[in-house]
Amino acid sequence: MRAGTLPSAAYHDMPYPRGEVVDRADVGALVRSAVDGDAAAWKALVEGLSPLVWSVVRAHRLSDADGHEVYQTVWFRFAQHLGRIREPDKVGSWLASTARNECLKTLRSLSRLTVTDDPQLLDRVSEEGTPEQSLLDSEEAAAQSERIRRLWQEFEKLGDRCRQLLRVLIASPPPSYQEVSAALGIAVGSIGPLRQRCLRRLRARLDARGAT
Amino acid sequence: MNDRGNCRENPCPDEPGGGPWDEDPLEQELRQAAAVLDPVPDHLLQLAVDAYALHDLDARVAELTFDSLVDALPVRGATDTPRMLTFQAGELTVDVEVTGEGLTGQVLPPQPARIEVLGGPQPGTSLTADELGRFLTGTPPAGPFALRLHTGGEVVVTEWLRA
């Protein structure tokens, strides 16, 4: 049950193929190279870990403007602390928890200052096309594309806890439980059971909609 | 494989490679959906790549030790209190207040300094702190910011932060 478990061959050209951009075991080595001045190592870190940072931002449902600034802040601070990271192998967790803290600060300042004008994510999904979508534009992919869209819509309607947890779990490549724990401030031991429960819930929603 | 590897289970399953591959097909499909419908915006990826320029081994980092957003009790009835930040690098302290007009602050112990206000990897705007270490910027930061201080022959940079 290895590569054969991928449900479709239509996604082999995905922007972030799972597990291939950065082997997480190499992260520590990339950090050390970047410290020594290797810009390519830095770029590999950015490409391999950006989806994780982004997933944390999205899990917290910030507005686009806030989310973009949090993402930048996290990477600026990481660059700044690069030579002082104590555990280079765990930068994924470092980035995830830094992103979480900045998200929480943002939510806190919003609740103090103004009413948030959080945009409806569902609207965006149905309207804006991403460059990647052009990959799906061929007729044979249209059905799959529609299926993915429906899946995403049901995902967005999940309760906050499930949506948050799954959004981080589905970053590419898949984060470790330590990283998920750092991203959401939940115990490593509770991730597995909650993950199963949330997937059951999502599946039930899809079944109810007749989409599976 | 090191202690992290790709292992997602706790405790880790025994079979080699066990981890992401035991994943629910629904989760895999969701991951594909996220990559297609909610990817990292390209311009943000590029900004993060460019951020390598902020890697500066010669500068000391002044860490955020106080942030009124987190550390202060809310003032009852006050809705527009300025954000107060304190950064520290060894014996050097930088106090900053963020208001609608800009950043005001003081370097302590009091000393003159040349200060660059950074908003990203690109060069920032320069200003000077007076003999008492006081400084003032004309505009509030538009996004993440850091202050790079040149003082007493050394360079100190405050931790990156959103104002």
> What average pLDDT score do residues A59-87 get?
95
A88: pLDDT strictly greater than 90: yes
pLDDT at res. A36? 94
CB-CB neighbors (< 8 A) of B53 in chain A? 79
Task: Verify whether the Cβ–Cβ distance A43 to B24 is below 8 Å.
Answer: no
A10: pLDDT strictly greater than 50: no
Q: Given pLDDT bands bounded at 50, 70 and 90, which one contains residue A8? A: very low
Task: Verify whether the Cβ–Cβ distance A192 to B53 is below 8 Å.
Answer: no
On average, the pLDDT of chain B sits at: 85
Q: Given pLDDT bands bounded at 50, 70 and 90, which one contains residue A23? A: low
Quote the CA–CA distance of A150 and A126 in Å, as a whole number: 10
Task: Verify whether the Cβ–Cβ distance A80 to B7 is below 8 Å.
Answer: no
pLDDT at res. B14? 37
CB-CB neighbors (< 8 A) of B79 in chain A? 112-113
Q: Given pLDDT bands bounded at 50, 70 and 90, which one contains residue A121? A: very low
pLDDT at res. B2? 37
Q: Which DSSP string do the residues of B99-153 spell out, in sequence order? A: ETTEEEEEEES---EEEEEESSSS--EEEEE-TT-EEE-SS--SSEEEEEEEETT
pLDDT at res. A176? 94
pLDDT at res. A110? 81
> What average pLDDT score do residues B62-66 get?
96
Q: pLDDT (tens digit, 9 = 90+) per residue, A178-204?
A: 999 999 999 999 999 999 999 999 999
The string over B133-163, giving b where at least 16 C-beta atoms fall within 10 Å of a residue's C-beta and e elsewhere, is bebebeeebeebbbbbbbbeeeebbbbbbbb
Task: Verify whether the Cβ–Cβ distance A25 to B45 is below 8 Å.
Answer: no
Higher pLDDT, B23 or A169: A169
A44: pLDDT strictly greater than 70: yes
Q: pLDDT (tens digit, 9 = 90+) per residue, B100-123?
A: 889 999 999 999 999 999 999 998
The CA distance from B149 to the nearest CA of chain A, in Å, is 14
Give the one of A35, A135, A177 whose C-beta lies nearest to B8's C-beta.
A177
pLDDT at res. A210? 80
Bridging pattern class, strands B134-136 and B154-158: unpaired
A17: pLDDT strictly greater than 60: no
Task: Verify whether the Cβ–Cβ distance A72 to B120 is below 8 Å.
Answer: yes
Q: pLDDT (tens digit, 9 = 90+) per residue, B9-52?
A: 444 443 333 344 467 899 999 999 999 999 999 999 999 999 99
> What average pLDDT score do residues A16-37 get?
74
DSSP bridge pairs for B92? B89
CB-CB neighbors (< 8 A) of B10 in chain A? 177, 188-189, 191-192
Question: What structural domains does chain B harbor?
Answer: 20-52 (no CATH), 54-162 (2.60.40)
- Hey, of A76, A150, A164, which one would you mutate to test binding to chain B, going by the most B CBs within 10 A of its CB? A76
> What average pLDDT score do residues A16-21 get?
41
Task: Verify whether the Cβ–Cβ distance A172 to B35 is below 8 Å.
Answer: yes
Quote the CA–CA distance of A125 and A137 in Å, as a whole number: 16
Task: Verify whether the Cβ–Cβ distance B74 to A112 is below 8 Å.
Answer: yes
Higher pLDDT, B70 or B94: B94
pLDDT at res. A103? 97
A132 class by beta-carbon count within 10 Å (0-12 exposed, 13-18 middle, 19+ buried): middle
Q: Given pLDDT bands bounded at 50, 70 and 90, which one contains residue A135? A: low
Q: Given pLDDT bands bounded at 50, 70 and 90, which one contains residue B69? A: confident
